[in-house]
Structure 1
Amino acid sequence: MTTVIPRKRWAYVIPVAVVMYMLAYLDRTNVAVILPYIGSDFPLSASAKGLASGIFFLGYLVLQIPAAVLAAKWSARKTVVLLMILWALAAVLCGLVRTETQLHLARLLLGLFEGGVWPAVLILLASWFPQAERARANALWMSCLPISAILMSPLSGFMLDHMSWRWVFVLQGLPPLLWAIVWWFTVADRPSQARWISREERDHLETTLAAEEAAKPSVAKQGYRQALRNRSVLLLIGVYFFWITGFYGFSLWLPSVVKTMTGGSATAVGFLSAIPYVLALVAMLGCALWSDRTGNRRLAITVPLLVAIAGLLLGNLAHWPPVVQFVLLCVVAAGVYMPYGPFWAVPSQVLGIEVVAVAMGVINALGNLGGFAGPYLVGWLTDVTGAATTGFVVLAAFLAVAAALAYFGLRPGSRAEEVIDVPAAADHS
């Protein structure tokens, strides 16, 4: 008779992490809703608005690797709670600025302190969920991204209709200080440290994770320097950079597009901006489930990006009624969110635990340069051409490069097979 293994990890680890990063994502993206409503007392050009959105990602680079190493060698739990407190203070500062330079500096600090959270949590999840569950675990945690947009875009819009933009920044920066307490008393770094886990679940996880680590090829267990020079890691950096350029260029400018389409109030823009993310959430979880069942990470990454490309091009190269444009925005939102779970299951599948923390930090740090490039590119092209159409077409081209790299660089095999194409995985240079 098959023993039923308890699954409390899904109820204890994922929800707390979801709320934590939902608050981080709110403090990161609320600028997209707020900037169009900054008054004449704080005038900003389209380029300056794009810089305010994108400069976050320059700060985001700095702590990627240090925080990943701290999470792996010291404690993911302690690393995240420290960063949570610091980013909350930086988010509040965004509402206290008096000049354009101060706004850019506050956003830079926000990116600096949020930067280490992503790889630290991925390291945490890798200690709790085996490979057969990894894409679903990643996607459930990363569901905080669309959930944040679903809940917080209407909230930001409502708040903007009833208070100044400064108070919106300040009040939305305070919740992480409270959630840091919940995180501290709930989260454990690994099963052996959790009080709520049963002996059966702990033994199952430790045995399964140890077996997966032992089964990895020798290339997965090489040193930091060799792993970071390996073509597998370089491929993932390339995919992520071009994907995130398109992703943030689209998502950070979505409220402005919706405002242009509707001419409505901030509350109406907030509610309409949330709708595409509802579809994105469902599609994201469905894609992760399919990816775990089949082990085919390649199609789970490539096909959604192609869907997003089609939506961006159709929406910007032809004149459609507002309803059709909005439907296409929903399609693009689903396409750029769906690859998250499968993509972040790849590094821990091909790299040993000794080096995966650093590799994830590098992939996320360099890939998120696209988070700076996308918003700023759209803003600059809008100033130059007088319309955002050219910018969105360029973003579609970035997504196309990401899709090509993923399709030709990843293998379509089952979970038992290598994810990275053989020549890349065999590269020790």
Structure 2
Amino acid sequence: MSDSAHNASAQSLLASPHLASGIRKATFRLMPMLIILYFVAFLDRTNVGFAEAAMEADRGLSAGAYALGAGIFFIGYALFEIPSNLLLNKFGARFWLARIAITWGIVAAAFAFVNGETMFIILRFLLGVTEAGLFPGVIMFLSQWFPNKRRVQMFALFYLAQPFSQMLGAPLSGGLISFGEQLTPWAGWQVMFFVEGMLAVVAGIAAFYFLVDSPQKAKFLTDDEKHALKVVMEHEDGVKETDGPRGIGAAMVNWKVWYFTIIYFCLQIAVYGTTFYLPQQVSGLIGQDVGWQVGLVSAIPWAVGLFACYYAGKHADTVKRRREWGAWFFVITGVAILVSAWAGANGQGLIGLIAITIAVSAFLAAGPITWSFPTSFLTGAAAAAGIGLINSLGNLGGFVAPIMRTAFNEAVPTESGAWGVVSLGVFAFLAAAMMWATRFFSAKADALLDEKALTPGH
């Protein structure tokens, strides 16, 4: 088939009821499992915030060791991210995502047996190694299943696992700590680590049975639905191949890949600089020890963020809107973080909680928008390498954030730790400027992202 004939076929299929029904079936079959995987992953990487004080008392864990352990997760994550993503491309998402979940779950459960700072730091590193590849693997997986027009909505649905994880996971973690030691011979923090680690193992086993590597292997699709998805995805991949890097090496040195790596790095500083210390910050704001009550209050920002993330994914449906909304979400994140620092320093608990809620909502909404850009020009092996690079180096923001926050607090000590919080907000403004500057980019794939044929009513 000639290029013009293939393009005409793809464009006609954009409005096909077979494509719409195929996307709908894929959404209901795949997205719940992917959300569960990321829910448990985000829970296992951040629940350490609930155990900080208890591990300090029971195992002599210092603030410096906690900061190093919280951050070193991302070193292991970064080192093995690209190899893991390339192996997923080789073995298929079904097998590889299941493998990732099972192995990280085993490591996460092992935190119940931490006996000192060294073991804590080693396990945090191994947790990063075993979880490496999950997030970029899902991003790449979705780019193989859903056309550009619907992909940002899928990213947003996937991102909902973050607020769900903290909204439900915060009271779960706090409850396991509060009640675990009453019902078992273990300390509450040990029960929390073991139970939540085993959840990942169960999720991994389920993923092996629920996920399907590609539309062509999906028994739940009809032949017409498979054909519609196949032609449209091949059409988009053809545009990406003429517009983006080809192959692993080209993706690794592509300037756009590095550009979005920096944006994602800034985003992750805001995310993890807030997440790792949210229980302790809420504890200070409401005057309660970390436990059930703090867990419930810590869930509030994530509950609000749930709606912000969904709204952004549903309505940021053109390149122009994503660019502008993304920039504004980053600005709002930075301002809200600065306000939360002021509130903490001045004993304004309610204002601080509102500011944290706004910051969480804004950076959650910015996430799926950010990922819509690199997936518009990366495909094949270049996607595996490029998405892996963006996520691995970008996630080093999670390594830098707790260490930077601790360093600022030690350099300019205050009772509230305000300067450590302020240091996080600066990077959100840098990300806003870079997102706005994407207006000067030119990409053939933008036409596909702005295609209206997949919008209901067209």
TM-score tier after normalising by the smaller chain length: over 0.9
| 1:22-421 matched pairs, under 5 angstroms | 22-38=39-55, 40-162=57-179, 163=181, 164=187, 165-216=189-240, 218-265=242-289, 266-293=291-318, 296-317=321-342, 319=346, 321-384=348-411, 385-386=413-414, 387-411=416-440, 417=446
* Aligned-residue offset at 1:100: 0.5
Match of 2:452 in 1: none
The letter of the residue matching 1:234 is W
* Aligned-residue offset at 1:416: 5.6
Instruction: Compute the RMSD of aligned alpha carbons.
Output: 2.2
What does the per-residue CA deviation read over 1:13-47, in whole Å, with 9 as the maximum and x for residues that have no partner? 10011011111111111001221333523223322
Aligned mates of 2:208, 2:36 — CA distance in 1:
13
What does the per-residue CA deviation read over 1:326-364, in whole Å, with 9 as the maximum and x for residues that have no partner? 111100111111111111121121123231110000011
* Aligned-residue offset at 1:413: 8.6
Cα distance, 1:191–1:419 mapped onto 2, change above 3 Å: closer
Choose 56-65 or 215-224, whichever is displaced more. 215-224
Stretches of 4+ aligned residues off by more than 4 angstroms = 410-416
SS of 1:417's partner is: helix
Choose 257-266 or 129-138, whichever is displaced more. 257-266
* Aligned-residue offset at 1:296: 3.2
SS of 2:323's partner is: helix
Aligned mates of 1:30, 1:69 — CA distance in 2:
29
The question of whether the paired residues in 1 share the 8 Å contact of 2:376 and 2:446 is answered with: no
What does the per-residue CA deviation read over 1:170-227, in whole Å, with 9 as the maximum and x for residues that have no partner? 1111112222221111110101111112223212211110111112362414232222
Aligned mates of 1:229, 1:195 — CA distance in 2:
39
* Aligned-residue offset at 1:409: 3.4
* Aligned-residue offset at 1:135: 0.6
Aligned mates of 1:419, 1:190 — CA distance in 2:
21
The question of whether the paired residues in 2 share the 8 Å contact of 1:412 and 1:419 is answered with: no
SS of 1:59's partner is: helix
* Aligned-residue offset at 1:51: 1.6
TM-score (norm 2): 0.87
Instruction: Give unmatched runs, 5+ long, in structure 1.
Output: 421-429
The question of whether the paired residues in 1 share the 8 Å contact of 2:376 and 2:445 is answered with: no
TM-score (norm 1): 0.93
Aligned mates of 1:414, 1:233 — CA distance in 2:
14
Choose 206-215 or 221-230, whichever is displaced more. 221-230
Aligned mates of 1:146, 1:360 — CA distance in 2:
23
Aligned mates of 2:442, 2:279 — CA distance in 1:
39
The question of whether the paired residues in 2 share the 8 Å contact of 1:296 and 1:414 is answered with: no
Cα distance, 1:295–1:73 mapped onto 2, change above 3 Å: farther
User: Percent sequence identity over matched residues?
Assistant: 28
The question of whether the paired residues in 1 share the 8 Å contact of 2:49 and 2:277 is answered with: yes
Choose 317-326 or 60-69, whichever is displaced more. 317-326
Aligned mates of 2:444, 2:308 — CA distance in 1:
21
Aligned mates of 1:267, 1:328 — CA distance in 2:
22
What does the per-residue CA deviation read over 1:209-261, in whole Å, with 9 as the maximum and x for residues that have no partner? 01111123624142322222121111011111122112210111111100011
What does the per-residue CA deviation read over 1:336-395, in whole Å, with 9 as the maximum and x for residues that have no partner? 111111111211211232311100000111111100000122223334414421111111
